[in-house]
Amino acid sequence: MAPNRSEKVSLWLDFWGARTKLRLDGAVDLAHFTYYFSDYVTDPFSEPDVTVCLLATGDSYLASGPSDREVVIVEHLTGRRQTLRGDDTVRAATPIPPFALAPLAGRIRTVHAAAVTHPNAQRKAVVIHGPSTSGKSTLMLSLLRRGWAFMSDDTLPIDARNHVLKFTRPIGLRERTAKLLGLGPEAFASATRFHTPTGVTRVVHPRDLRCRIGPDQAEWTWTVTLEPTYKPFRSTVKSRRHLHLEFDVTRDHCAAIVAIEEFANESFEQ
């Protein structure tokens, strides 16, 4: 049965000055998105820059797979309108936050990476690049447990000065990653669960992992690129700012953390 459109609820968000109104089908989705973007929730405003309406064939957008999602409607203050259906709801650029639309377009770009700031230099960030499932989040979580501070996971906003912007949406925590790092179920027991091709993933806000949170922005100081391999672990310093790791995340994540910390600390001494 299609949801009753009269029961739609709204969530108001502010992403770096992009005022966004999110329209949802009910309490389940409202609770999830309120948690997911809790640091960006704001009071209602009269003229949002972007309105995003999530509609599904069932009672919850989150509970629907792409084939069951009726439509995502994106409306811009300028009058621009976009309609996404089915698989396009996951393939198209995300409208939440609306990075591809004004006022963010041209001012903020995104890269597929994780970032944390150094324990002794909170304005200096290491950006961890790599393909999906290469170990970005695993290394980031390991560094957080060693006193580094969270900046972003998976989607990393970068400003015009090439500075990393803090983006405190939840971390996608795979259950196998939690087991690898020794995180007990109490760390994510209440988090929303999603079934993915790589297993069960939970979305956990970094504050619920009791880690340090970084500043609003930090200098992109170091880059770590990851190359998954079954060959022996190899760490190669490409430059003072670039470290390349060939590793297997399950086997070599401890060695990779040592290499990253030694690489970053050495730059302070030079």
Which tens digits make up the pLDDT trace of 54-108?
Answer: 877 666 776 655 555 557 889 898 888 888 877 777 677 778 999 999 999 999 9
Q: Is residue 97 part of a domain?
A: no
**Given pLDDT bands bounded at 50, 70 and 90, which one contains residue 1?**
very low
Q: Is residue 98 part of a domain?
A: no
**Given pLDDT bands bounded at 50, 70 and 90, which one contains residue 6?**
very low
What's the structural domain count of the chain? Answer: 2
| Residue-wise pLDDT tens digits, 130-157 | 998 888 988 999 999 899 999 999 899 9
What's the whole-model pTM score? 0.88
* Structural domain of 54: 5-91
Higher per-residue pLDDT: 204 or 160: 160
Q: Is residue 247 part of a domain?
A: yes
Q: In this structure, are strands 217-228 and 212-213 parallel, antiparallel, or unpaired?
A: unpaired
- Nearest CA-CA partner of 85 in 62, 97, 69: 69
Report how far apart the first and last C-alpha atoms of the chain are (Å, whole number). Answer: 65
Half-sphere exposure of 256 (CA within 13 A, CB side): 29
Peptide bond into 103 cis (omega under 30): yes
Cα separation of 25 and 98, whole Å?
20
Assess whether 176 and 144 both reside in one domain. Answer: yes
Contacts of residue 101, defined as CB under 8 A and 6 or more positions apart, other chains included, come to 18, 49, 50, 74, 76, 80, 95
Place of tokens 């502010």: 14
Decide: residue 54, CB within 10 A, 0-12 exposed, 13-18 middle, 19+ buried. buried
Assess whether 53 and 153 both reside in one domain. Answer: no
Cα 222–Cα 224–Cα 228 angle in degrees, nearest 5: 180
Q: Is residue 197 part of a domain?
A: yes
The whole-chain average pLDDT of the chain stands at 86
